[in-house]
Structure 1
Amino acid sequence: MSSDRLLSIGMFIFTTDGLSYQELERRMSWNWAAAPRFGARDALQFTGPGEDKITLNGVLVPEVAGKYSDIARLREMADSGQVQDVTLGEGDVLGQFVIVAVDHREQNIIMGGRARRYDFAVDLLRYQP
């Protein structure tokens, strides 16, 4: 693996000298069913794994690193509805995920309506066939 790789979503690669993210947040949950009991706390039964969600937050500054088209590429991947392998830069596979949201905010607008800075977030949800 290349040392500048941070993470890949399918064929889209976040790198230190291209589009990069500053924060990776992962939230995993597990499901428990509750059965009420008279005079006592509910009885709990484990029913299996719940959601596994990853959120990547970052900043795109095309004049420094990354391209204007990077956010559009992520949206196109989400539009395709395809399941993507998510892999950390050192090769650890996190699993198969789908892109469920891509947010961005444009700042420092220059002539022509281009932004110098894009704050972005990408939400991924673990796929279970």
Structure 2
Amino acid sequence: MMLYSIGSLTLDTRPFNVDDVSRSAGADFAVKPLIGTLPGREFMGEGDDKLTLSGQLLPFKIPGGGGMTELEIAHGFRQSGQRLPVMRGDGRMLGWFAIESISEAHTALMSNGVGFRVKHTIALVKVGPEGASPGIIGSILSLFAQVGL
């Protein structure tokens, strides 16, 4: 059972907890000024699709580091810029994402500098899968570039 998976990383209720999720998605439009009316808008495609997963770790209460190892794996994904498949616990594939940022807040620090409670937030942005074709517009533009236009 899982709540979410980011690549090979599983987020659940323990040890790597996620208890809050938000998603923000948009569309891109080209704005065209028109006389005497509202500007026209031409749909240009999907805009940014951002997913934010937040939770709390208890490294000294849950055996095996309480999710700190998994948090370091997430940092590794972020540092490498990997494109990762993201799946929700009900089996729905949300697409390919890259980790934009990770924030962590340690409270009630223990003698080793790690918090008894560690709140974390992982911000992801939707990307195309590795090696994805640029689509029809990208193909046309590359043809123009090849012929020198």
User: TM-score higher than 0.5 here?
Assistant: yes
SS at match of 1:37: coil
SS of 1:41 mapped into structure 2: coil
Work out which structure has the larger RCO, using CA pairs closer than 8 Å and 6 or more positions apart in sequence: 1
Corresponding residue for 1:86?
86
Name 2:30's counterpart in structure 1: 33
Would you say 1:50 and 2:47 are equivalent positions?
Answer: yes
Structure 1 residue 19 corresponds to structure 2 residue 4: no
Distance 1:69 1:13 in 2: 12
Q: Which runs of 5+ in 1 are unaligned?
A: none
The CA distance in 2 between the partners of 1:76 and 1:83, in whole Å, is 12
Provide TM-score, normalisation by structure 1.
Answer: 0.90
Task: Kindly indicate which of the two structures has a greater share of residues assigned to helix.
Answer: 2
Aligned to 2:104: 104
TM-score relative to the length of structure 2: 0.79
AA partner of residue 43 (structure 1): G
Larger strand fraction of residues: 1
Aligned to 1:70: 70
How much does 1:50 deviate? 0.5
List runs of 5+ in structure 2 lacking aligned partners: 133-149
**Structure 1 SS opposite 2:82:** coil
The structure that has the greater radius of gyration is 2
- What is the Cα-based RMSD across aligned positions, in Å? 1.3
Aligned AA for 1:10? G
Structure 2 CA distance for aligned equivalents of residues 30 and 99 of structure 1: 20
Q: Deviations over 1:75-122 (max 9, x none)?
A: 011112211110112221111111111111111112232210111110
Going from structure 1 to structure 2, the CA distance change for 1:43 and 1:67 (only over 3 Å counts) comes to closer
